[in-house]
A and B are shown apart, each in its own frame.
Chain A
Amino acid sequence: MNPIITAFSKGIEKSGIKPSKVSVPSDIPFGSEVVNHLGVDFFHTIRGRAIPFGTGLKLGNPALKVVPFVGDLMTLGGNHFVHAGRRNMELLVICVNNFVYRKIGGQPTPSTPVTFSPYSTFEEPFNIPHLGNSCGAVYTARWTALHTDELANSIAEALNKQGLSVIEVISPGPNYYTKIEDIESNLINFYYENSVIKNGEDPKNARITPEEKIVVGKFTDKERPTFIDSYNAQLSKVLGDKFTPYGGKNG
């Protein structure tokens, strides 16, 4: 988690956005000191509901930059994710992917208790950038916990995007992974050996499979009217001056 937080705070800095304007609904608990250091507002929501909670925050006060941290790998929250993408709700979803495909690094073996992975170990995981992209996200990227600088840049970039941005961060987490020490010991090499940067790659081809290396990079960067934009556009068109546009890009 720590490298991600570091990258996150760097990213906020780079983006030039006041930390106080950033709200972080998350189903991963942050340390209180971490939050103090970041200077953001933090909401530890129930599992899987970070995105709708963020939707509420954003619509309640469009001036906010809302950055949901999602740790459940779109299990409970999958529906909220795809719909936020469809609406192009102005959120930056940072999906911390603790899932390590079973064959990578030879651990865990198939007999690892399935309950510790967000999916049963024999299931194919979601290709999150692809899912996000196909649901209409305007920005998708994937980095490993190792690529802190790239991650920071991505976050800075995404924070200034209008619409739903998704950044998947591959990072092993003890909660989901029994033999974590095996991996941590040689994490650096592990990611060096097992990841390859392909910016602009079609996320469709960025599946995480045991055979191929983890494809990382920035995949999508497009423009689409956000929910609030199209809301204002449509209603002004129909209601004319009876309607005062809501919030707007920066509240």
Chain B
Amino acid sequence: MKANPKDVNTGVYYIDGDVSSGYGALAAGCKFVGGYPITPSTEAFEAVCRRGPLVGAMFIQMEDELGSIASVVGASWAGVKSMTITSGPGFSLMMETIGFGAMLETPFVLLNIQRGGPSTGVPTKTGQADMMQSRWGSHGDYELIAISPDSPQEMFDYTIKAFNLAERYRCPVMIMSDECVGHMTEKVVIPLADEIEVEPRRFYDGPINEYLPFKPDEDLVPPMVKAGDGYKLYITGLIHDERGYSIKNEEYKSIYTKRLVDKIRLNKDKIIELKEEETDDAEVVIVSYGISSRVAVRGIEKAREKGIKVGSLRLVTVWPFPDEKIAELAKTIKAFVVPEINYGQIAFEVERCSHGEANVILVPHGGAGVHNPDDICDAIEYAAKEKKRIEGVIEYKTKLEKLVFEEGYKLHE
């Protein structure tokens, strides 16, 4: 299905990632946004507030993030595409309801503009430390999809993709962007409506009395209905069966929640999107996502000037994680270098999937800034030199760490 021309403000813009993502949401047919202001994600919400009413989209600023996400889940069951916008602390508050959304198989999109953490951290500066949280943050077992754009243009494109995936697999989809991309102002081309592919909600079209809210199609995803259409919906966050009825203890079989996990794990190959560069003959491969992947480019160039064969694997979808891809690369290369703006999250996943066949070097960064490309370049050099297999993630000591802890940097007089 093509996007509705009314929703798409076609043109060439010079806007930041937040705004671009807001436009993307509206272009994808998002009709409800529940938000709560939090730096650095506010621009996205503001963009929706300005443009939303003109295209018949409702927005509300709730009293807190708990409320905003709950309202988004509700709106989605009322039949409209919906989204919420937040950053680290708000994300943490939303955890319970994210699990609830996954349990109800509610399609919605969550835009998380990551900032330096933990706690209040550095509100105005970047970080990438919510990546594992987006996968494991809520209690209980569930799987969801996380995308990590690296430019304002991608913020637009992948916000639309996020909505499509959410509707396709009936699960929450996270856009795990970061402050740098969110506040980076670049050229954004918004195409014509008929060039934008939009996934319509998969509505049930059978006789009312035969409808089972959680009876999956062969791809494990059940079709959905709206509230208020006389289906007598019974939807519960308790573990439930196909009818949606909660299951009594004695007949407890966790087949239901198993499907929550399987519908993503088994459709992995359709979901995962990667950007691969010169990995065929590479001896070192950079695994990166979000803003780090753009910083890495310079590091890679430098390393190549030094004659090292460096490939690059960019995770566009971070969750589900491309286990197989990493595993097969690990066979052919010496080492992975993982630059990320945290002290090791995705690096551990890479370590897991490389099954000890390649070294894994983490180039950490605490946040509030991006890597120094020299660090990445040096890490690549080291990776290329290192002969023996070293177990465990090798944490590369960055110039920043040396400066702060060894060269007696003065934080204040």
Contact = CB atoms under 8 A, between A and B. Distances in A.
A49 interface: yes
A79 interface: yes
A57 B77 contact: yes
B52 to A, nearest CB: 10
Chain A interface size range: 35 or more
A49 B97 contact: yes
24 contacts: A20-B230, A20-B232, A29-B246, A32-B245, A42-B235, A44-B238, A44-B246, A46-B70, A52-B67, A54-B74, A56-B34, A56-B72, A56-B77, A57-B74, A57-B77, A59-B32, A59-B71, A60-B58, A60-B74, A60-B79, A63-B228, A80-B67, A246-B56, A247-B58
Contact of B228 (A56, A64, A246): A64
Contact of A56 (B53, B56, B63, B78): B78
B235 A44 contact: yes
Interface residues of B, number: 46
B64 interface: yes
B122 interface: no
Contacts of A235: 53
Contacts of A53: 70-71, 73-74
B60 interface: yes
Nearest to B233: A41
B243 A64 contact: no
Interface in A200-251: 227, 235, 239, 242-244, 246-247
Shortest 10 CB-CB contacts between residues of A and residues of B:
A56-B74, A60-B78, A44-B236, A60-B75, A56-B71, A20-B230, A52-B70, A56-B75, A52-B67, A53-B74
A79 B64 contact: yes
Contacts of A46: 70, 96-97, 100, 237
A59 B73 CA distance: 12
Nearest to A227: B60
B153 interface: no
Interface string B201-245: 000000000000000000000000011111111111110000111
Interface in A55-81: 55-61, 63-64, 79-80
B62 A55 contact: yes
Interface in B73-91: 73-80, 82
Given A52-B70, A55-B67, A57-B75, A41 B231 contact: yes
A46 B60 CA distance: 21
Interface in B27-57: 31-32, 34, 53-54, 56
A167 B78 CA distance: 24
A243 B53 CA distance: 7
B234 A42 contact: yes
B110 interface: no
A108 B246 CA distance: 32
Contacts of A20: 228-230, 232
Contacts of B34: 52, 56
A143 B56 CA distance: 40
